[in-house]
Amino acid sequence: MTISQALSNATSGLTATSRRAGVTSNNIANALTEGYSRREISLAERVVSGQGAGVTVAGVTRASDPAIAYERRIADADLAYSGANADAMTRISNLLGGPEDASSLFQKYASLESSLRALAETPDSAPLQQQVVSSANDLANAFNKISSSYQKIRADADKEIGERVAGVNDALQKIEDLNNSISRGYASGADVAALEDQRQLLINKVNESIPVRELQRDHGKVDLMTPEGVFLLAGTARTVEFTSVANVSDGMQYNGGAGALSGLSVEGKDITPGGPGGQNLSSGAIAGLFNVRDTAVPEMSGALDALAFDLVGRFADPAVDATLAPGDPGVFTDNGAAADVLTITGLASRLELNAAVDPAQGGAAWRMRDGVNAATPAAAGSDITLRAMIDAMTQTRPGEAGLQSSRDLNASEGAAHLASLAGAARSHAADQEIAATALSQSLYEAEKMQTGVDTDAELQNLLVIEQAYSANARVIQTVEQMISRLMEL
């Protein structure tokens, strides 16, 4: 080996070693940076005029494991779906309250029954008559409040879908821009690892809302496609379409695109979760929110309406209140009228106390004792109607299908059953979220093991790099001494 060859080898070694030191120190500095993937130097033999001339840096590679990343994204999408459902079911269950909660629907039923029993013992007591009116009014208001809150949950879900769709469209456009920058970097031989990190973070963001598969294309570009086969990015970003509504009311639904609520599409291709298309989303936060808006809450709202219908029916029976004719509204009404099973949807939001028994609406509290349509007060000690009302509340009877009960229930048991339905749904959703969290976290850790930074290993690399640097520097120093010696001859 000539002196010039030795010098060339050592110089190239110093250059490569310096680059390795920079990459390694950058790994250590970013060990805790979210989304950072470990970098590694690729070295190759340097050839000049057909002869070896040291070493050259072939490039910087970014650690990745596509298989684990794909599995982790599936788990993340499932977690986002479960989280949306768990949050909604927790809110629903909290609105109903537990049997021990003084403000719960169950306790409102118990309060009405208790006030009826107290009045039956002293039928001529005006304060107790007013207490029955107040308890009945509180119960109707509780139905109204819960029903309104259910629709608020649906409205919140609809709003969040819109916000997430806007976020997805923004992220897709940024991914397209990064694709172009990475492609230019590939062509020029520039280090694009940092750009790829940014792109992966954006893909993860999209995946949380709409699960995606990452498809590798030429020059470092990627396309994104849903697991159901709809492209969100194919060279250029596609637009995800959704229209939020200002308010969601009872009866509003998507109904396969025929209802008042918006579906989800990608440039005209229907991907609405639960919709009639063949490429509907089945996981991700947006799918979870659609389930909340279109399935989970409407089911619980339907059960609440069924319970309200049961309450109205118990007090509208002429066998309970002899002053009523068939079809007359009883103590509880559907916005002042008799309830009809054909218009049961939204009944809980329209439930009202009959104006005839409510002094605040021009009625008379004594009609709670003597009957809704009583023209004049009966004898002061009359308790026949009151006893019949108490019996109506304690009588077991089959409920509407929406209440989802396999057995007959009395009035208070119906309220307890509704709370139990919500509690079971909340527990199931929470269990799903816990399982999804565990799987997502385990896959995240597995991915970090393959692509993250092991600071111990990187520090060991620095020791090896230092030794290599010293060896190359020693060669250059020796060459310098040899040249100086030759110049002295």
CA-based nearest residue to 204, from 80, 88, 38? 80
Complete DSSP assignment for 367-387: HHHH-TT-SS---TT--HHHH
Indicate whether 166 and 126 sit together in one domain: yes
d(CA 300, CA 373): 34
Q: Are both 17 and 97 inside the same structural domain?
A: no
| Domain carrying residue 50 | 3-63+454-488
- Same-domain status, 327 and 285: yes
**Residue 449 falls inside a structural domain:** no
pLDDT score, position 14: 84
Distance CA 231, CA 225 (A): 4
Question: Final residue of a domain: which of 416, 439, 462?
Answer: 439
Check residue 45 and give its pLDDT. 79
pLDDT at position 50 is 67
Q: Which H helix or E strand runs over 42?
A: strand 39-48
Q: Is residue 348 part of a domain?
A: yes
| Same domain membership, residue 78 and residue 48 | no
| pLDDT confidence of residue 400 | 85
388 and 469 share a domain?
A: no
Residues 31 and 122 occupy one common structural domain: no
Say if 444 falls within a structural domain. no
Report how far apart, in Å, the C-alpha atoms of 118 and of each of 107, 131, 383, 387 are: 16, 9, 11, 11
Residues of the chain scoring pLDDT < 50? none
pLDDT at 385: 95
- 41 and 156 both lie in a single domain: no
The pLDDT of residue 49 is: 66
pLDDT in tens, 93-144: 999 988 778 889 999 999 999 999 999 999 999 999 999 999 999 999 999 9
Q: Do both 291 and 416 map to the same domain?
A: yes
Any domain includes 238: yes
Say if residue 215 is in the same domain as residue 263: yes
Residue 446: inside a domain: no
Q: What's the structural domain count of the chain?
A: 2
Q: Do residue 73 and residue 193 come from a single domain?
A: yes
Q: Are strands 222-225 and 213-216 parallel, antiparallel or unpaired?
A: antiparallel
Q: By three-state DSSP, how is residue 287 classified? A: helix
**Are 193 and 39 within 8 A, CB to CB?**
yes
Yes or no: say if 84 and 292 are a contact pair by the CB < 8 Å rule. yes
Residues 212 and 246 in one domain: yes
Q: Residue 445 domain-assigned?
A: no
390 shares a domain with 254: yes
